[in-house]
C-alpha cells in the first residue's frame, strides 16, 4: 500500500480530492443523503487535504520561480477561512435545521472559492513550471501526510477547534 501514490502527480491527486469535496458538499445539501456522515467525511478530508498541502506542497512550490508566492500564501489564508466555516458547521447538532443550511452555505462558498482559485493559480502554475518527476515526488509526500492526518481523526470537532485556534 505504501507505494500506491509514488507515481501520482501532485496536481492530479489534489484535483481528485477537490472533486470528492464537491460531491460531499452536494450530499450535505441533499435531504435524501446521510448529511451527518457526509459532514464527517468532508471534515476529515478538508483538514487532511489542507494540512498536507501546507506541510508538504505549498512550501516546495514557493521554490519555483514562476509560481507566485502571494498566491500560495493566499491559499493558506483560504484554508484557515474554510476551517473556520467547517467548525461552525460541526457545531450544528440538527442537520435538518435552518442553522445547518445557513452554515453549510458559508462553508460551500469558502471552499468552492478556494478550490476554483487554487486550480486556476497554484495548480496551473505547478503544471507549467514544476518538472514531472518533482510533481510525482510531491504527490507521494502529499498522500503520505494526508493519510497520516486521516489516521489521526483530524476531522474531529476538537481537532478542527485546535487548528482554528478557538
Q: Is 3 inside a domain boundary? A: no
* Residue 13, all three cell numbers: 491527486
Mean pLDDT across the chain: 93
DSSP letters, 62-86, are TTSTTS-HHHHHHHHHHHHHHHHHH
Q: Is 2 inside a domain boundary? A: no
pLDDT per residue over 17-75, tens digit each?
Answer: 999 999 999 999 999 999 999 999 999 999 999 999 999 999 888 888 677 788 888 88
Q: Is 5 inside a domain boundary? A: no
pLDDT value of residue 166: 54
Domain range for residue 92?
A: 10-164
Report the number of distinct structural domains present in the chain. 1
Hey, is 5 helix, strand or coil? coil
Query: Whole-prediction pTM value?
Result: 0.93
Q: Is 57 inside a domain boundary? A: yes
pLDDT per residue over 106-148, tens digit each?
Answer: 999 999 999 999 999 999 989 999 999 999 999 999 999 999 9
Amino acid at each position: 500500500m505504501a507505494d500506491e501514490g509514488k507515481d501520482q502527480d501532485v496536481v492530479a491527486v489534489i484535483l481528485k480530492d477537490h472533486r470528492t469535496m464537491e460531491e460531499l458538499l452536494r450530499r450535505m445539501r441533499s435531504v435524501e443523503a446521510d448529511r451527518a456522515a457526509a459532514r464527517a467525511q468532508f471534515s476529515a478530508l478538508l483538514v487532511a487535504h489542507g494540512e498536507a498541502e501546507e506541510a508538504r506542497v505549498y512550501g516546495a512550490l514557493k521554490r519555483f520561480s514562476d509560481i507566485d508566492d502571494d498566491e500560495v500564501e493566499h491559499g493558506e489564508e483560504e484554508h484557515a477561512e474554510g476551517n473556520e466555516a467547517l467548525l461552525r458547521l460541526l457545531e450544528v447538532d440538527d442537520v435538518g435545521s435552518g442553522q445547518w443550511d445557513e452554515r453549510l452555505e458559508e462553508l460551500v462558498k469558502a471552499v468552492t472559492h478556494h478550490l476554483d482559485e487554487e486550480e486556476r493559480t497554484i495548480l496551473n502554475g505547478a503544471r507549467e513550471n514544476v518538472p514531472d518527476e518533482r510533481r510525482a515526488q510531491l504527490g507521494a509526500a502529499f498522500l503520505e501526510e494526508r493519510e497520516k492526518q486521516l489516521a489521526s481523526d483530524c476531522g474531529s470537532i476538537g481537532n478542527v477547534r485546535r487548528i482554528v485556534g478557538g
